[in-house]
Amino acid sequence: MAVLNGKNILLGVTGGIAAYKAAFLVRLLTKKGGNVKVVMTAAAKEFVTPLTLSTLSKNEVYSSFTNEETDSDSFKEPTWNNHVELALWADLILIAPATANTMSKMAHGSCDNLLLAIYLSAKCPVYYAPAMDLDMYKHPTTNAVFEKLNSFGNIQIPAAFGELASGLVGQGRMTEPEEIISFLENDILKKLPLYGKKILITAGPTYEAIDPVRFIGNHSSGKMGYAIAEAAANLGAEVVLVSGPVNLKLENDFVKIIRITSAEEMYKAAHEYFECSDIAVLSAAVADYRPLEIASEKIKKKTTALSLQLTKTKDILASLGEIKKNQFLVGFALETENEEENAKLKLKKKNLDLIVLNSLRDKGAGFKTDTNKITLIAKDNKVLPFPVKPKKEVAIDILEYIIEQTNA
């Protein structure tokens, strides 16, 4: 999953034997693409060293309100570890292990160390993974602490059943790092606005063969479609991306890429996946015409002119508009004249719910650029223009509008 990629994750480590698992947690979180900073209580340093966690996270490890390591030669003053800045930096806080002592302080607002100060300043989701011995876990006060913490909106990652440090077997063992990561991913995923939605996206050009060497194509890079696919997956959607021949890569567990070459292949793939889709965004620049006959051998240059007889390709967007049931269907229009008028005609003619208009007239828009300038036109002809933006931001604008309309 990619839901942790790019997330700022603050890992709080408290003083229990399970603290040794923090090293594995940091490793797994960074492998998932998370930016990890570690805050340790003083007791936690008895079980795992800050150097280990700093090396794995590639960030300084914090454990006190000031950094008291001074340079005697330069007479550097101690620096303040700003708990508010650390709290605001984090997209999520994970406290693992969370000891009975730390959880009790969290529940009752005690603030005698840096981690607790960060917790009390946090505005992001806070996850905690309890770790303690069996009798401590079963004590009535522990259950009361759980209830209070959960009532504050904190999210508990339940302790596992297993062998404990005391030799007893029972509840209280901190969940294994791999299971903690899975819990985080699934919990975040379920809260994303496109969770449970299936989205079909087409991207890039199509190449229509003239002979085994030559083809008719266009300048589409596929960047817009790929940006929409990635953004949709990051918002929780299950994406099928039907891609023409482009030099782009996209590695995301929630994106299935179907690679095609011709308009006919794109037509078949789009129809295969449209029926089970909730949303379809057809951003591909599909060839309108293809050679009527394809030469089996390379055409030799014998004359000063070469005539090709062309025939229309199938209109993928119109064909999906004809069979549309409950799908939200989005098309793209690249116009060079009477842009808005032509886009509105296309919107109605092809039974679309939304059309994305972009023009070759606008600087920073069109083929092969990393930016685009779009205007959204809805079914009721409402027009919503946007300024030039990076295509990744344009993708978010498009998807946010779709979410707003499909959730209305």
Among 407, 7, 402, which residue's Cα sits nearest to residue 187? Answer: 7
Q: Catalytic pick from 8, 82, 218, 351?
A: 218
Task: Round to whole Å and give the CA distance between 196 and 328.
Answer: 15
What Å distances lie between residue 337 and 87, 122, 340, 346, 362, CA to CA?
A: 51, 52, 9, 14, 12
Name every residue whose Cβ is closer than 8 Å to that of residue 364 and which is 6 or more positions away in sequence: 371, 372, 373, 388
Write the burial class of residue 27 (CB in 10 Å: 0-12 exposed, 13-18 middle, 19+ buried).
middle
218 classed as catalytic:
yes
- Print the SS3 string covering the chain: CCCCCCCEEEEEECCCHHHHHHHHHHHHHHHCCCEEEEEECCHHHHCCCHHHHHHHHCCCEECCCEECCCCCCCCCCCEECCHHHHHHHCCEEEEEEECHHHHHHHHHCCCCCHHHHHHHHCCCCEEEEECCCHHHHHCHHHHHHHHHHHHCCCEECCCEEEECCCCCEEEEECCCHHHHHHHHHHHHHHCCCCCCCEEEEEECECCEECCCCCEECCCCCCHHHHHHHHHHHHCCCEEEEEECCCCCCCCCCCEEEEECCCHHHHHHHHHHHHCCCCEEEECCECCCEEECCCCCCCCCCCCCCCCCCEEECCCHHHHHHHHCCCCEEEEEEEECCCHHHHHHHHHHHCCCCEEEEEECCCCCCCCCCCEECEEEEECCCCEEECCCEEHHHHHHHHHHHHHHHHCC
Catalytic residues: 218
